[in-house]
Structure 1
Amino acid sequence: MRKSQKSISGIVLIAILFFTGIFTSNAQTKKDVGLQLYSLRELLPKDVKGTLEKVSQAGYTQVELYGFNIKDQFWGLTPVELRKILDEYHLKPISGHFNMTPYFETGDEAELKAAIDAAKILGLKYVTIPWLESDVRNSAADYISVAKKLNYAGKRCKEAGLRLAYHNHDFEFIRYGNETGMDILLKNTDKALVDFEMDIYWVIRSGLQPYALFKANPGRFAMWHIKDMDKSDPHLNTEIGAGTIDYKAIFKHAKLSGMKYFFVEHESNYKPDMIGSIQQSNRFIKQQILK
Structure 2
Amino acid sequence: MIKQLILSSILLLLFIGTTEAQSSLFPETPGMVSYTYRNSFQKDVSATLDTLQAMGIKDMEFSNLFGKSATELRALLDERGMHCSSYGVSYQDLMGKTNKVGEDAKTLGAKYVRVAWIPHDGTFDLAAAQKSIADFNAAGKILKDKFDLTFCYHNHGYEFHPHGDGILFDLMIQKTDPNYVSFEMDILWTFFPGADPVYYLEKYGDRFELMHLKDLKKGVEGNLSGGTAVENDVALGTGQLDIPAILIAAKKANVKHYYIEDESPIYYKQVPQSIEYLKNLKK
Q: Which TM-score tier does this pair reach, normalised by the shorter chain? A: 0.7 to 0.9
Aligned length: 248
Residue type at the aligned position of 1:250: I
**Highest RCO, 1 vs 2 (Cα 8 Å, sep ≥ 6):** 2
Q: What is the identity, as a one-letter code, of the residue corresponding to 1:215?
A: E
Residue number in structure 1 paired with 2:35: 38
Instruction: Give the stretch that moved more between structures: 199-208 or 128-137.
Output: 128-137
Show the counterpart of 2:100.
114
SS of equivalent to 1:207: coil
Structure 2 matches for 1:202-221, cutoff 5 A?
Answer: 202-221=189-208
Correspondences of 1:84-103 after superposition (within 5 Å): 84-101=75-92
Once the 2 structures are TM-superposed, how far is the Cα of residue 264 of structure 1 from its aligned partner? 0.5
Following superposition, the deviation at residue 31 of structure 1 comes to 2.7
Matched, 1:83 2:74: yes
2:273 maps to which residue? 280
Query: How far apart are residue 275 of structure 1 and its match?
Result: 2.5
1:248 alignment partner AA: P
Aligned residue runs from structure 1 range 36-185, under 5 A: 36-67=33-64, 74-101=65-92, 109-135=95-121, 138-159=124-145, 160-185=147-172
RMSD over aligned CA atoms reads 2.0
Give the 3 Å change call, closer, same or farther, for CA 134–142 of structure 1 in structure 2.
Answer: closer
TM-score when normalising by structure 1: 0.80
The separation in 1 between residues aligned to 2:68 and 2:38, in whole angstroms, is 15
- SS of 1:59's equivalent in the other structure is coil
SS in 1 for 2:131: helix
Residue of structure 2 in register with 1:20 after alignment: none
- Per the TM alignment, residue 100 of structure 1 is displaced from its structure 2 partner at its CA by 2.3
Q: State the percentage of identical aligned residues.
A: 30
Report the Cα distance in structure 1 between the residues aligned to 2:109 and 2:220, rounded to whole angstroms. 38
2:209 paired residue among 216, 222, 242: 222
Could you say which residue in structure 2 is the equivalent of 1:244?
240
Give, in whole Å, the separation in 1 of the partners of 2:122 and 2:217.
31
Structure 1 residue 151, shift from structure 2 partner: 0.9
Look up the equivalent residue of 1:98 and give its one-letter code: V
Question: SS of the counterpart of 1:288?
Answer: coil
Gaps of 5+ in 2: 1-25, 222-227
Distance 1:138 1:204, change over 3 A: closer
Q: Give the TM-score normalised by the residue count of structure 2.
A: 0.82
Q: Which amino acid aligns with 1:143?
A: A
**In 2: Cα distance, 1:32 partner to 1:175 partner:** 37
Q: Distance in 2 between matches of 1:102 and 1:137?
A: 23
In the alignment, which of 256, 259, 262 is matched to residue 260 of structure 1?
256
After superposition, what is the alpha-carbon deviation per residue over 1:98-118, rounded to whole angstroms, capped at 9, x for unaligned?
012266xxxxx4322221110
Say if 2:216 and 2:241, in contact at 8 Å, map to a contact too: yes
1:230 CA displacement: 1.3
Residue deviations 1:216-246 (CA, integer Å, cap 9, x gap): 2121111111101112445401111222212
Query: How much does 1:145 deviate?
Result: 2.0
